[in-house]
Structure 1
Amino acid sequence: MEAPAPDWSELPADILCDVLTLLECPDLLRAGAVYAAWHMAYSRLRRAGIYPVRQTPCLLYCNEAAGGLNALGMYILSEKKAYTMPLPESSIKNWIGSSHGWLVTMDDKSELMLLNPITGNTNVLPRITTMEHVKPVLNGHGVLEKYEVFYYDREIPRVVEEDTAIWSLEEYGHMVYLKATLSCDPSVGGCIVMLIHQPYGQLLFAKVGDDHWNWLSVCSYYKDCVYHNGWFYAVTEEGAIDAYNLHGPSVIHKRLLPQIIQTVSKCHVVRAQSGVVLQIIS
């Protein structure tokens, strides 16, 4: 007599969760739809912000044919197959950074938020008008219509109000945001967002849950930024590398590498799998 088939629906929850964290993203979503118990385990991981630890990279792109701005296309390299993912009601216009499975996106008013395209979870970031160099422009009815940007940096007093630019709500993000970097998975708490922005490639940061952006008035003309082991590493267009620790009551800054080049087309800072921080120039 053949042994009865195992009842996979009765796997202990802790073992099931361990198995689910080893799956690629598409398999994880499929597993969550098999049994009610499996879906509960999947939901438990999702609420806790725990996702598969080993993932083949995925390619994200706007999928106009499947929903325009209300959907994203995701190409799974491990399957060589494309999927369409619906987005939350507040559709995104662009994204300026990604990490830990989350996107830093902006809406049609250039307001920033964090979006997990797989789970649909979101976190709102501080409003644009809390940035020190931005002033709201209202129409005759008191409705926000444009943003006025003041062109000053650490060398110019904050009271200077001469050189300015005025952008429409949607134009602002495309003209001002350069790159956003996350310190960790926003689901686990304590996440810090570092933003490289115009004018002059300067830095702003905010912790998820803050009500305003903070200006880092140390240097300008940053081109790239990564996070590793408690520090943000930012590289300037001339090759200088600064390190910032933002976890304490005050900002800690270190200049790790002075200016090393005069002109360069591209300059990046990356973290190797070993944990070593590398500078790449071209």
Structure 2
Amino acid sequence: MDIFALLEIPDLLRAASVCSSWNAAYSAVRSIGHYRRRPQTPCLIYTSESAAGENVTCLYSLAEKRTYRLTHLDPLIHKRYLIGSSHGWLVTADERSEMHLVNPVTGEQIALPSVITIEHVTPVFDDSGSYIVVLLHNPFGQLSFTRLGDEKWTWLPARTEVDDCIYMDGLLYAVTSFGEIVAFDLIGTRAVTKHITGERLGKSKDDEEGYHYQR
């Protein structure tokens, strides 16, 4: 049992299959909890459609220098983000940031509570029930948005740098570095921009602009 407690997991499983007495020792090591304190050599997990197919997840053992192919993970792990790991479990997030704990060896998955139950997280939906995601990014405080079903980000042209934005009552409000407040109506296929406050060269504060975008 002292020797078994020092083995890597693959070697421990192989030792358990040698004979009944070794299997009993293997079971005893696991049941008393000694083995859990044994640090394991980390494995690398990856997916590759060209090498293994869409539904195959590969686990590369650094200790054994070999690859194990796992085919029982559903939903497919390559469609989720890997955001952490601990004690053989992976923390994954899907396209809506909903998280699952995944054991890549056993295929077990545990759904964590929805992220919208976090105190400071609120889902943003339009009138049709689809989510809208707005990204404030470089260069110079630019705005882009995407909606459920979109295949690309849509840029919202702004004459000056945007400092912050908020989505309320079906409109996206943005405040610029010059104190200008701009409202964007993102419903439908024609986004409409209206300047709420602040003067712009050659434009009055009540002017509206419109442009089309493709989903």
TM-score normalised per structure 1: 0.38
Determine which structure has more spread, i.e. the larger CA radius of gyration: 2
TM-score normalised per structure 2: 0.47
